[in-house]
Amino acid sequence: MDFNVKKIASGAGVFFTRAVQFTEEKLGQAEKTELDAHFENLMIRADCTKLWTEKIYRQTEVLLQPNPSARIEEFLYEKLDRKAPSRNTNAELLGHYMQDAAKEFGPGTPYGSTLMEVGECERRLGAAERDFLQTSAISFLTPLRNFLEGDWRTISKERRLLENLRLDLDSCKTRLKKAKAAEARSATAPDFQETRPRNYVLSASASALWSEEVEKAEHELRVAQTEFDRQAEVTRLLLEGISSTHVNHLRCLHEFVEAQAAYYKQCDFHMKELQKELSSCDENVLPNAFALSSTHPAAPASEGSPLETDTLKIEEVQAPATGTRKAKVLYDYDAADSSELSLLADELITVYTVPGMDSDWLIGERGNQKGKVPVTYLELLS
């Protein structure tokens, strides 16, 4: 128990001494041992490395997993040393929904069969994304996290120890300076009258006492200087290791780029294959579907009418003598085929109806251009 009390008291004394030295330095009342310029540059470089590595690590986490709740869940599983449950990617979920919808609509229908093919492609994209996430986490995120949680913590610990030893060293320098000043005063300016022999004895005793204090302070200074130099060398070696960290992170960055390039290459391949599959379908299915959606099925075309059975021949449509109106375009619209007219927001066009046309469409004219336009994209003017 006595040992623990002495240890606690000694520790409190050291802490108080460092606090006094730190305060006096801030107030400009004590000298501070400055590190060499190379050492300062090493520390600045290390701080910069830690700052940007942490930012890159956090943003890469957001890139790979945008959902913050999922990131927190993965973090908790990691801290509990348990494997996180497998989770489908958003593309895989979309693919499952599309395939389930295709089964409901009927895989033999044009819409159902297309949903089935697109859903399968989305599932492949999701599988490629999962592989990319796993590869990136292992080859890029893990080395960055190891630096922040391993190497950087060691560097920070050694730097704090170096700072404490510097405070001890400067405190020893201050005590030695004060002891020498007191010794000089006791030797040159005694406080007693020179005519009394007893005063000479007291003056000599005080001088001897301050000489002992000077020797003790010099010994403590040598010990503090040795410990400080040893710790400075250890810290310097760790800070110089930041160059190796940069080399390692550079290699990991190359691996991340390769994984990202492979992922986008797979996505490009799957999308081109999907386009080929969709274009190889019956060419009449899609145009007929568009035509049926833009014409009224219960209005058969009569002889001489500008409407035919399935499609509208725009070039045969003539503007009526009356009934034309001006309309303002609300939104941009890209024509789906040659029978439609592309629109630009805020432009004015002439519109009118023809017999048998679906109420959701009008005929629009802009100069020599003519085509079907959706009513929802227009504001009819009086």
Tens of pLDDT along 252-261? Answer: 999 999 999 9
Give the residues of the chain that fall short of pLDDT 70.
1-16, 20-22, 24-30, 75, 77, 79-80, 84-85, 183, 186-210, 281-322, 382
Give me the pLDDT at residue 154, please.
95
Count structural domains, the chain. 2
Q: Residues 168, 265: one domain?
A: yes
Q: Residues 182, 86: one domain?
A: yes
Give me the pLDDT at residue 258, please.
96
Q: Residues 19, 91: one domain?
A: yes
141-175 burial, b at 16+ Cβ within 10 Å, e below that, comes to bebbbebeeebbeebeebbeebebbbbbbbbbbbb
Q: What angle do CA 231, 233, 234 make, to 5 degrees?
A: 65
Q: Residues 223, 370: one domain?
A: no
- pLDDT tens digits, 62-89: 998 887 777 777 767 676 677 766 778 8
Predicted model pTM: 0.61
* Residue 331 belongs to domain with CATH number: 2.30.30.40
Give the distance, in angstroms, between the CA of residue 81 and the centroid of all CA atoms in the same chain: 25
Tell me if 300 is assigned to some domain: no
Tell me if 304 is assigned to some domain: no
Tell me if 231 is assigned to some domain: yes
Tell me if 292 is assigned to some domain: no
Give me the pLDDT at residue 297, please.
45
Tell me if 201 is assigned to some domain: no
By C-alpha distance, which of 87, 128, 81 is closest to 271?
128
- State the Cα torsion 169-174-176-177 to the nearest 10°: 140
- Contacts of residue 312, defined as CB under 8 A and 6 or more positions apart, other chains included, come to 291, 294, 295, 306, 339, 357, 372
What is the residue type of 38?
H
Q: Which residues pair with 380 in a beta bridge?
A: 327
Give me the pLDDT at residue 4, please.
63
CB 347 within 8 A of CB 366: yes
Q: Residues 86, 234: one domain?
A: yes
Give the distance, in angstroms, between the CA of residue 116 and the centroid of all CA atoms in the same chain: 35
Q: Residues 334, 256: one domain?
A: no
Distance in angstroms (rounded) separating the CA atoms of residues 62 and 56: 10
Give me the pLDDT at residue 32, please.
74
* Residue 276 belongs to domain with CATH number: 1.20.1270.60
Q: Residues 373, 248: one domain?
A: no
Give me the pLDDT at residue 317, please.
60
Print the domain residue range for 238.
15-189+209-283
Q: Residues 214, 356: one domain?
A: no
